[in-house]
């Protein structure tokens, strides 16, 4: 399986033999499991204070069966609940330390010891990465994700793209490669988030656009960081979530020639 290699102006300057990994069958179920596992490792354990709602000097005065305190609870017209001790006036006899009480603890609060991280077997994780890489070369998956691109896949560019360090220059290169419509889709698709996220540094949601895979960062990170939806990653840092955002395989991906050569050696 071969692919055309393009110059920065979009012209074809040669071809390259693609790694065998591009012929891997796409396993969407394994990709979804792996993406969920990656996302779960960003969760932070949380829970309530162990004594929240229970830090009161409260005691149940009475006995349900027998004993000297039996007459204090029978026919008293009050619920058999723990009540505050040594209190007067409005707080006299107030129920505490039980979930149904005012200011009482939650019945089943979140606990820090709960296991939030999902696990994936090593072989499944490797298969998911191979499948996600193979999906970037299948047009049905790329178009199915909503990307706008009419050319051939995969898109392979000469290694000079790794040295581009200006956003204006990178935009011209991406337009020459025919992915400018997808950049416009991501730009117009930005929207403001509703809810608390506005106050937590994630006020805007931006659609995912082009992923640029390079062997080494020689300035392209700075050039692409201001383009909406565009991500840059070194081939050694590839993961399934970058190649299949939201567990949907087929992200529009641009490979540098050196990145493909490194991928042959790594896989």
At 102-133, the pLDDT tens digits run 999 999 999 999 999 999 999 999 999 999 99
Assigned token pair, 260: 């493909």
Which pLDDT score, from 0 to 100, does residue 87 have? 75
CATH of the domain at 232: 3.40.1370.10
Per-residue confidence band for 65, with pLDDT thresholds at 50, 70 and 90: low
Q: Say what percent of the chain tops pLDDT 70.
A: 93
Contact call for residues 7 and 15 (beta carbons, < 8 A)? no
How far is the C-alpha of 78 from the C-alpha of 90, rounded, in Å? 16
Which pLDDT score, from 0 to 100, does residue 85 have? 84
Residues 199 and 259 in one domain: yes
Which pLDDT score, from 0 to 100, does residue 93 have? 81
Domain C-terminal end among 100, 115, 130: 115
Domain C-terminal end among 115, 136, 171: 115
Across the chain, mean pLDDT equals: 91
Residues 74 and 106 in one domain: yes
Average pLDDT over residues 75-84: 80
For residue 24, is pLDDT > 90?
Answer: yes
CA angle 29, 238, 154 (to 5 degrees): 80
Per-residue confidence band for 203, with pLDDT thresholds at 50, 70 and 90: very high
Contact call for residues 242 and 233 (beta carbons, < 8 A)? yes
Which pLDDT score, from 0 to 100, does residue 68 have? 58
Average pLDDT over residues 240-246: 96
Per-residue confidence band for 88, with pLDDT thresholds at 50, 70 and 90: confident
Q: How many domains does the chain have?
A: 2
Average pLDDT over residues 251-259: 96
Q: What b-and-e string marks burial along 237-255, b requiring 16 or more CB atoms within 10 Å of the CB?
A: ebebbbbbbebbbbbbbbb
Which pLDDT score, from 0 to 100, does residue 69 have? 55
Domain C-terminal end among 94, 115, 136: 115
Average pLDDT over residues 217-246: 95
Which pLDDT score, from 0 to 100, does residue 74 have? 64
pTM, rounded to two decimals: 0.84
Average pLDDT over residues 246-252: 96
Strands 231-234, 211-214: pairing is parallel
Residues 6+ apart with CB under 8 A from 94: 83, 84, 87, 101, 102
Residues 190 and 201 in one domain: yes
Residues 104 and 174 in one domain: no
Average pLDDT over residues 167-190: 95
Average pLDDT over residues 222-234: 95
């Amino acid at each position: 399986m071969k692919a055309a290699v393009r110059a920065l102006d979009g012209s074809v300057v040669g071809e390259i033999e693609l790694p065998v990994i591009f012929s891997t069958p796409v396993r969407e179920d394994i990709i979804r499991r792996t993406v969920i596992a990656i996302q779960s490792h960003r969760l932070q354990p949380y829970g309530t204070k162990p004594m929240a709602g229970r830090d009161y000097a409260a005691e149940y005065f009475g006995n349900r069966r027998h004993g000297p305190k039996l007459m204090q609870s029978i026919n008293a017209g009050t619920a058999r609940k723990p009540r505050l001790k040594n209190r007067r006036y409005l707080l006299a006899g107030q129920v505490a330390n039980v979930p149904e009480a005012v200011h009482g603890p939650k019945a089943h609060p979140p606990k820090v010891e709960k296991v939030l991280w999902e696990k994936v077997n090593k072989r499944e994780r490797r298969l998911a990465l191979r499948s996600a890489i193979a999906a970037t070369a299948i047009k049905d998956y790329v178009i199915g994700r909503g990307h706008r691109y009419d050319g051939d896949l995969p898109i392979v560019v000469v290694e000079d793209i790794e040295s581009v360090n200006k956003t204006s220059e990178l935009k011209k290169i991406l337009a020459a490669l025919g992915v400018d419509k997808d950049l416009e889709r991501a730009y117009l698709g930005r929207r403001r988030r509703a809810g608390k996220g506005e106050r937590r540094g994630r006020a805007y949601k931006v659609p995912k656009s082009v992923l640029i895979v390079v062997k080494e960062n020689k300035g392209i990170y700075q050039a692409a960081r201001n383009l909406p939806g565009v991500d840059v990653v070194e081939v050694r840092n590839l993961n399934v979530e970058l190649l299949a955002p939201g567990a949907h395989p087929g992200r529009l991906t641009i490979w540098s020639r050196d990145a493909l050569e490194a991928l042959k050696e790594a896989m």
